[in-house]
Amino acid sequence: MKVAIVGAGTMGSGIAQIAASAGHGVVVYDKSPAALDRSRRQLEKRMGNFQKKGKLTNTEAQIIQTKISYTSQLAELSEAELLIESIIEELGAKQLLFRELEDIVTQQCILGTNTSSLSVTAIAAACRQNPERVVGIHFFVPADQVKLVEIIPALQTRTPITQQAQQIIRQWGKTTVLVKDRPGFLVNRIARPYYLEALRILEEGIANVATIDWAMTHLGGFKMGPFALMDYIGNDVNYIFTKRLFKSTFYDNRYQPSVVQKRLVEAGYLGRKTGRGFYNYFDHSTNPAPYSDETLGKQILIRILVLLINEAADALFHKFASREDIDLAMSTGIDFPYGLLSWADDLGIGFVVRQLDELYELYHEDRYRCSPLLRQMQKKAERFYT
C-alpha cells in the first residue's frame, strides 16, 4: 500500500517511519524543503540509534529509509491509498489542505487527520466531493514508541472506512481505540484533572510541586507526576490544549485553564525544552524536595484520582467509547498504572462518590460534580467489571 504523510514535523516523520517499518512505500510532503531535509536527517539518526541498540540490522535500517521519499509537490501524493495529515493544529489550515487534496488523490484514498483536538467532522466538511472517507487517526508523541492510536470517525465517515483505518493501524503494530468525535477525544480529555487539579492544589498552597508529584508517583504508581509531565509535554502545548478544550465544551468549568500555568507560558518557562518550567533543568540547578508525609500524600492522590475516575465514568456515560477502550486508552496512551474504571472498582464506587460529594460541598463548583453514572451505580451497588 502507498502511504502519504502531509507534514514533515516530529509527528509526521514518526508516522512515516512506522508506515515504512510496516513495509509500505511512503511519501512525505511538506512545502518547506528545510523541514523535509530535517525530517530525513532525523530518520537517519533514529535508524543509527536503533542499530547501536541492536533493534535493527544495517540492512533493515537501510530498507526503511529507502521506502520513504520526500517531496514539496502535492501532486506527487496522487497515488496514495492512505493519506495522514499532520500539519499545524489550526482548523482553517486543515480544511484548506483537505479541499486541495480532494482534487489530487483518487476517490479510493482514505484521508486521515492526526488532529489532537479539532473536530474531525469540521475537517471532513471541507471536502465537497467525498467527506465520507475522512477519519481521525490520532497518534501520540513519540509516535514510534506510544502504542495507542485513537480512531475517530467524523459524523460523515462511512463505517467501512473506520474499520479499514483500524485494521491498517493495527497491522502497523499499534493498539487502537474507537472514539466519538467529541472535544479532546478520549485520552487528553480524561487526563485533564491530572494537570488541572494538581495546579489547583498548588494554587491553594496545600503542597508544593515536588510534593504533589511525589504523591502521585510514590503513592499512586504513576510513571510521572503531573508537573514533571507538563514540563515534558511543554507548558505551552498543555495550556493551549486546555484552553481549546475549555472553549469547545462551551466553557465547562471542569476544563478551566490555570493562571499559574498561563504565567509560566508568558514568562517563556515552557519546561524541558527551555530549561525551566515547574522545575529547573539547567546544570547544577536545585529543585525543592518533596514533603514526604503519607497522610498529606494520600489526600492529594485521592483528590486527583477521583476526578480522573469521574472523567472516565462521564466518558462512558456519554458513550464516547466502550468501557474496555477507556481503560485501555488511559493505561496505554498516557501510561497510567491502571485503567481508571477498574481502579474505581478497587476503591469502591461509593467511596468515589462520597469523595466527589465532599469536594462539591466544600467548593460548590461544577468541576466536582459527580457523574450520573457513578451515582446510579452507587444506588444499585454495581461495579464496572464483574
Catalytic residues: 116, 138, 150, 188
Question: Could you tell me which of 300, 308, 236 has the C-alpha nearest to residue 267?
Answer: 236
**Rounded to an integer, what distance in angstroms lies between the CA atom of residue 341 and that of residue 359?**
20
**Rounded to an integer, what distance in angstroms lies between the CA atom of residue 332 and that of residue 191?**
13
What sign does the CA torsion over 41, 44, 50, 55 have?
Answer: positive
DSSP conformation class of 45: H
**Pairing between strand 68-71 and 134-139?**
unpaired
**Rounded to an integer, what distance in angstroms lies between the CA atom of residue 84 and that of residue 5?**
5
Cell, residue 172:
502497523
Asked whether 112 and 164 are in contact (CB, 8 A), the reply is no
**In sequence order, which residues have a C-beta less than 8 Å from that of residue 228 and are 6 or more positions away?**
213, 278, 279
